[in-house]
């Protein structure tokens, strides 16, 4: 019985060795565990034997992960899902491709199902669109943009975003087009003197944004200017926070040490309210070496109401300057509500009230002024161009924009200060706080 048992075990071991040699061939090295590998070619055929002459079991694509079970010469024995077979080892990498962010540099770019111009289009990207590169070959890159993924021509991708800048229209009249080279796609008129933000440019056309509308315009009809500097982030970009009594007690020394250079503190609201923390915040922030700015929340429904609110704001600012020796730099009007004005007249009436407020502030001797709102309100409820055009050139009238999105995207609007999040975390502040980037450097901003 003992001898027969040994024969049985020996026979099983011989069978197991033959089975492994047939189905899991190796190049002589023993793998402790089956490693993963990643496809580097656009497509790769899994065949039922280690040769190009044998049957294709399945087609896999760039960046797909396979399990390598063994090797036979130039081929790897792999498993992909429920498929077992052989692939050329030269088209595998032991390390996954390190994905990275890229940006479309052509006017449009088709995302295709395969790495050739004859394959099915899965979507269309536009100039300056952001995407993730999942793999790349000699001519094509495998990308993902939102829910769309596929292959695009690699030569039309840039690894850095286009550095946006502001330009003015020099032609007497020109059109904004939805598509390049298609006159019928014109949807908005631009006239001489209009300012646009250039988001990208090619040889003939530039992708621009005007009051939230984005389209293409002939590049020769534009001239670059620098009324704002958010395209010069490395030179002029500064960080700061805006605060009110909602933040409670703030450690401004810690705020300063965290890399911030300014604050914008709520001072007043309506015709009589004073934020109870304004004076304390202004004094402490100034002592910590931060530039102090202030804002007033606007509630006026009439021009007389606007005058009262301006006088109230001015008196509080002058008091902290004279009694606490705090120099308050810029003063912002926070306009976020229509204040009971009718929908049919809100834009004209509210803009008129804002201009009355600003004019009254200047009569009170306060000239470093700006306006704050969110993108939608600027576009629908205020005539921002009218407001800017009626302000003197110096000191510069500042636009403070609230638009919450990834910092890397930029404000996407002509702004001097960008409030990019309301959920920021900053040393020295308990809880969430609004975080801002200032692109205007004069007078400490």
Range 81-94 average pLDDT: 94
* Backbone phi and psi for residue 31, each to the nearest 5 degrees, phi listed first: -90, 130
Q: Domain 25-93, CATH 3.40.50.1220 — does that match?
A: no
Which CATH code is given to the segment(s) 165-225?
A: 2.30.30.40
Q: What is the pLDDT of residue 1?
A: 41
pLDDT digits (tens, 9 = 90+) for 187-204: 999 988 888 888 887 878
Read off the pLDDT of residues 96-148 as tens digits, 9 standing for 90 and up: 888 888 888 888 899 999 998 889 999 999 888 889 999 988 889 999 998 89
| Contact present, 237 and 408 (Cβ < 8 Å) | no
Q: Is residue 408 scored above 80 in pLDDT? A: no
SS percent in the chain: helix, strand, coil, step 5: 25, 40, 35
Residue 15 or residue 75, greater confidence: 75
What pLDDT does residue 356 have?
97
- pLDDT range class, residue 20, cuts 50, 70, 90: very low
Measured CA to CA, the distance from residue 390 to residue 76 in angstroms comes to 73
pLDDT of residue 318: 95
- The residue-averaged pLDDT of 418-441 equals 92
Write out pLDDT tens, residues 304-345.
Answer: 999 999 999 999 999 999 999 998 999 999 999 999 998 889
Of 99, 95, 204, which Cα lies nearest the Cα of 145?
Answer: 99
CA dist., res. 100 & res. 439, Å (int): 27
Q: Residue 204 is encoded by which pair of tokens?
A: 């003939």
**What is the model's pLDDT at position 28?**
40
Q: Does domain 100-158 have CATH number 2.30.30.40?
A: yes
User: In the CATH hierarchy, which top-level class contains the domain 233-444?
Assistant: alpha beta
φ, ψ (nearest 5 deg) of residue 323: -85, -30
pLDDT for 409 equals 80
- Outline which parts of the chain fall under CATH 2.30.30.40: 25-93, 100-158, 165-225
Tell me what the mean pLDDT of segment 66-83 comes to. Answer: 94
Residue 332 · residue 371 · CB < 8 Å: yes
Indicate where the chain has its CATH 3.20.20.80 domain(s). Answer: 233-444
* Cα(180)–Cα(392) distance, integer angstroms: 38
Is residue 33 very low, low, confident or very high in pLDDT (cuts 50, 70, 90)?
A: low
pTM value is 0.51
β-pairing verdict for 369-374 and 65-72: unpaired
Mean pLDDT of 81-107: 91
Read off the pLDDT band of 445 (50, 70, 90): low
pLDDT band at 390 (very low <50, low <70, confident <90, very high): very high
């Amino acid at each position: 019985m003992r001898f027969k048992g040994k024969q049985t075990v020996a026979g099983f071991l011989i069978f197991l060795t033959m089975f492994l040699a047939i189905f899991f061939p190796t190049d002589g090295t023993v793998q402790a565990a089956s490693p993963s590998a990643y496809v580097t070619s656009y497509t790769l055929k899994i065949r039922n034997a280690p040769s190009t002459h044998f049957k294709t079991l399945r087609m896999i694509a760039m960046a797909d992960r396979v399990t390598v079970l063994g090797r036979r010469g130039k081929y790897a024995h792999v498993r992909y899902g429920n498929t077992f077979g052989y692939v050329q080892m030269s088209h595998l990498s032991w390390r996954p491709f390190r994905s990275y962010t890229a940006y479309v540099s052509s006017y449009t770019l088709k995302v295709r199902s395969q790495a050739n111009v004859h394959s099915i289009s899965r979507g269309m990207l536009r100039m300056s669109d952001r995407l993730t590169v999942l793999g790349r070959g000699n001519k094509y890159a495998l990308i993902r943009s939102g829910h769309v993924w596929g292959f695009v021509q690699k030569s039309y991708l840039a690894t850095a975003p286009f550095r946006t800048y502001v330009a003015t229209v020099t032609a007497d009249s020109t059109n904004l087009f939805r598509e390049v080279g298609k006159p019928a796609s014109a949807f908005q008129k631009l006239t001489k003197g209009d300012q646009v933000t250039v988001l990208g440019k090619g040889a003939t056309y530039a992708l621009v944004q005007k009051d939230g509308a984005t389209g293409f315009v002939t590049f020769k009809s534009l001239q670059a200017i620098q009324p704002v500097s958010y395209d010069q982030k490395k030179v002029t970009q500064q960080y700061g926070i805006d605060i009110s009594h909602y933040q409670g007690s703030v450690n401004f020394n810690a705020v300063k040490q965290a890399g911030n250079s300014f604050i914008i503190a709520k001072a007043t609201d309506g015709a009589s309210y004073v934020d109870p923390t304004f004076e304390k915040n202004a004094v402490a922030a100034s002592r910590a070496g931060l530039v102090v700015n202030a804002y007033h929340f606007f509630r006026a429904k009439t021009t007389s109401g606007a005058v009262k609110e301006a006088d109230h704001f001015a008196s509080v600012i002058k008091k902290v300057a004279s009694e606490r020796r705090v120099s308050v730099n810029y003063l912002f009007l926070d306009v976020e509500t229509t204040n009971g004005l009718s929908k049919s007249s809100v834009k004209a009436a509210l803009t008129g009230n804002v201009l009355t407020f600003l004019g009254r502030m200047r009569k009170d001797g306060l000239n470093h002024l700006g306006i704050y709102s969110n993108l939608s309100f600027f576009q629908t409820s205020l005539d921002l161009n009218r407001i800017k055009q009626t302000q003197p050139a110096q000191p510069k009238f500042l636009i403070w924009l609230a638009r919450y999105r990834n910092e890397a995207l930029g404000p996407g609007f002509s702004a001097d200060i960008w409030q990019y999040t309301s959920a920021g975390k900053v040393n020295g502040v308990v809880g969430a706080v609004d975080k801002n980037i200032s692109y205007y450097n004069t007078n400490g901003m």
